[in-house]
Structure 1
């Protein structure tokens, strides 16, 4: 029998707090030579993964999207973001509907950005492999929005390269096979035990057959690194002073032959708010240990009344260029991946 979610989470927080008390030394992000860059995310992190994968499609091989929507869904408008691309204003004001994001218009916008060189050519998307997950009970990003995302991707990606899972009675959370709240619960740390290994399913879809994930605690190294190197004064632009990198034992050194995956957390899911639950328990690290995958966990931060919940910028709370290559947060994370990949900036 599963233990009650509040008790389980309280124990987890206590354990993580004790580990954190030892203190971590903040260091520069190491230079590595990984390859095969992929991205994933939940909620605002899902929107960030979509726009990162589309904008830098020449550098990315695939994406895993949990509870997100089409590229530039908000069009930089907060009301649209909260009522059409999600239901964060609450049910009475929610205007989510089938086709409500206007996929044809977003496809045209994507083409315009590509023609102007603001994002990579959309032809690169044809080789991407994309895994989608929408919970049947998701009250924050309802399935209609995810259905629009699938329709958006089908304009650019062959249908056989898209996997869409929408058969789980899950609320708005990262699905896990062993950690977190009950699957129908909405709340911190926004990871839920749904008997679904979301991280494993998306990584296997993107990269193909993988070795079974390592059991037990992660055996790799967690590196807390300075994000200000990639975005000066990050807290003035919705990013935290530090982010996290997970390096499995087989990727120590320069990581030659290893893959790189960027895992974007959702709103209210930063290390400052959930004691590194996303970094340590979203499900990626066991797969990383067994399959030589370095995992980058960049961190967002609150930005006053514009972004009180530490979301990624997918609705122009900081930057009108939020969805293109020149966007502050976009470029910062891209520079991180360049530091970590073959041929990147050293």
Structure 2
């Protein structure tokens, strides 16, 4: 097994030209490697939007993130309940109380239905929670509610809650970043406190001393597009692989950045300056650093539904993609080596349907078709086209396709193809002209950090106030675009 892993690693490393010094950029993105890492030793942590997303992954995919979660300035699972007003209100400013008992009930209900993994998986996991006393973005009271939420699922003895450091809204280190109490880009603060080390020690137990010198492993930019295209996720992410993990089965920790912290926003600072890598290097921990794109609202992970109504469930597009990345690294997802279908395109549009076609893949026994990240076929598709029905008129959709092998294991995901349905008999949709404030009150748009965005399309409408007027056209259920009828 070790020999095979080393052979695979050498091929991947050669393709990537990956052996990089700490500040050296990668030259090309390559497929995420199948390292044969230990699937029983997987955990996740994140800051702010990444903290909320870490909670979502830990709860919804508790069978995968078995070791637990580190949450910095996050909040309870499904806190926003699909509302940006809840997200910016009770889940950040704590302007109103968070209905923790309701969220616990929702969690149990979704687990019973299979929308998320059984909650019993969390009993053996561990938690590290952190809230800075100077954090006025996600108030400490929100983290207090997260602790209360988790008490229904994780034993108190398995939880550490640190809330006595004067940090602003930021990832905290002991030697890099801005002043401890500030909240400013790149949202990494030097508080003389090694938060990454504290998180990893809580999740994995006593650690070997960190490597404060030149790291022995490799940073690599990998292709995220084989897991998801669009949905606010960038084309590439980053992985750090300690040298020992090229031949040994290592632990895996996923690190999720906050809003305005992706690679485009802050370069490699979150990937290389937050303190995780020097602990990973001496403790055999593979680190996955997924990245959002600038198309995501404020570069945030989806924890309130800006991309998909199922954002907090296993079927959420971002959720499924992040889980698939872990499955690739651990080899636990039952994935197939079949390549991604090519030539994916759309045709035959009607007001309620679209034909999706693709070129056949050698060795495929069937195919799965995904619309907006959610599988639409009930059974494997035998041919090389599929008619997707039940669509809204005058609406643009995106489809991807993956091949299945003889055991129904799924191969790599195709590039996305888009298509727009025809107008229905009622014309091109209903238009609404109003102030941006009125649009949010009516539920046609949402506000975030002073700006307004159309529901569904996510198009920016400008400042959120009563003075800026925008015309929105409804082209489908809860889907609005800027335009005229």
* Same structural fold, with TM-score higher than 0.5 when normalized by the shorter chain: yes
The match for 1:4 is: none
Among candidates 314, 317, 320, match of residue 306 of structure 2? 317
Q: What is the deviation of 1:23?
A: 4.8
**CA RMSD across the alignment:** 1.4
Among candidates 293, 299, 303, match of residue 301 of structure 1? 293
Q: What is the deviation of 1:96?
A: 2.9
Among candidates 267, 277, 281, match of residue 259 of structure 2? 267
Native 8 Å contact 2:26 2:221 kept in 1: no
Q: What is the deviation of 1:59?
A: 1.6
2 CA distance for matches of 1:272 and 1:138? 24
1 CA distance for matches of 2:311 and 2:332? 25
Q: Secondary structure at the match of 1:278?
A: helix
The match for 1:137 is: 134
Q: What is the deviation of 1:301?
A: 1.6
Native 8 Å contact 1:54 1:119 kept in 2: yes
Query: Are residues 1:281 and 2:273 paired?
Result: yes
Q: What is the deviation of 1:19?
A: 4.5
Q: What is the deviation of 1:271?
A: 0.8
The match for 1:54 is: 59
Q: Secondary structure at the match of 2:87?
A: helix
Summarize deviations over 1:179-230 as a string: whole Å, max 9, x none. 1111011111111101111110010001001101111243311110111100
* TM-score, normalised with respect to structure 2: 0.63
Native 8 Å contact 1:221 1:248 kept in 2: yes
The match for 1:332 is: 321
Among candidates 152, 163, 167, match of residue 164 of structure 2? 167
1 CA distance for matches of 2:166 and 2:239? 31
Summarize deviations over 1:116-145 as a string: whole Å, max 9, x none. 100000011111100000000001100000
Among candidates 81, 91, 108, match of residue 85 of structure 1? 91
Native 8 Å contact 2:127 2:158 kept in 1: yes
1 CA distance for matches of 2:95 and 2:224? 35
1 CA distance for matches of 2:30 and 2:249? 24
The match for 1:245 is: 239
Summarize deviations over 1:29-58 as a string: whole Å, max 9, x none. 111111200000000000000000000101
Summarize deviations over 1:59-112 as a string: whole Å, max 9, x none. 21111000000001000101110111013xxxxxxx535xx1110000000011
Native 8 Å contact 1:96 1:144 kept in 2: no
Q: What is the deviation of 1:343?
A: 2.9
The 10-residue stretch of structure 1 (214-223 or 27-36) with the greater mean CA deviation from structure 2: 214-223
1 CA distance for matches of 2:68 and 2:245? 21
Query: Are residues 1:106 and 2:98 paired?
Result: no
Any unmatched runs of 5+ in structure 1?
A: 1-17, 88-94
Q: Secondary structure at the match of 1:238?
A: coil
2 CA distance for matches of 1:342 and 1:126? 24
Q: Secondary structure at the match of 2:46?
A: strand
1 CA distance for matches of 2:257 and 2:105? 28
The match for 1:39 is: 44
2 CA distance for matches of 1:119 and 1:167? 33
Query: Are residues 1:68 and 2:100 paired?
Result: no
Query: Are residues 1:206 and 2:203 paired?
Result: yes
Q: What is the deviation of 1:302?
A: 2.7
Native 8 Å contact 1:96 1:145 kept in 2: no
Q: Secondary structure at the match of 2:91?
A: coil
The match for 1:96 is: 95
* TM-score, normalised with respect to structure 1: 0.87
1 CA distance for matches of 2:225 and 2:64? 23
Q: Secondary structure at the match of 1:120?
A: coil
The match for 2:350 is: none
Decide which structure has greater strand share: 2
Which structure 1 residue ranges, 4+ long, deviate > 4 Å from structure 2?
A: none
Cα–Cα, structure 1 residues 164 and 23, in superposed 2: closer, same or farther, change >3 Å? closer
Count of residue pairs brought into register by the alignment: 311
Q: What is the deviation of 1:342?
A: 4.1
Any unmatched runs of 5+ in structure 2?
A: 1-21, 337-485
1 CA distance for matches of 2:285 and 2:268? 19
